[in-house]
Amino acid sequence: MRVVAVGSRSFVLGFRLAGVGGVEVADAKDALSVLNRLMNDPEIGLIILSEELTSEIRNEVNEVRSKKPMPLIYELPSSKAGARETDYRALLRQVLGV
């Protein structure tokens, strides 16, 4: 199974240096298009999305997550973002629609 990073040039470059494939996107619309394409690739096991892009398309990403369990979609903050707390229960409720 492969891992693919989706985000800005610097976000993807960091993962490429670690040996992970990546797709550079310009904006949230492009990220959603790439995400939908990657979800249909059976060789991909994990998609790492830049959180700065997914904030605009949060509902669409959660909808994709709820329809298809694999590949996993994981959001990471960019290097520009500061530290913040994550409410995993709220995230799980949103993904499950509860």
CA distance 60 to 11: 21
0.85 cut: is pTM over it? no
pLDDT in tens, the chain (98 residues): 899 999 888 888 888 888 888 999 999 899 999 999 999 999 999 898 988 888 788 888 888 888 888 898 888 876 655 555 656 566 556 655 65
Fold of 2-96: Rossmann fold (3.40.50)
pLDDT for the residue 25: 92
55 φ/ψ angles, rounded to the nearest 5 degrees: -60, -30
CA distance 60 to 62: 5
CA distance 57 to 51: 10
CB within 8 Å of 73: residues ≥ 6 apart:
35, 47, 49, 61, 64, 65
| Domain locations in the chain as residue ranges | 2-96
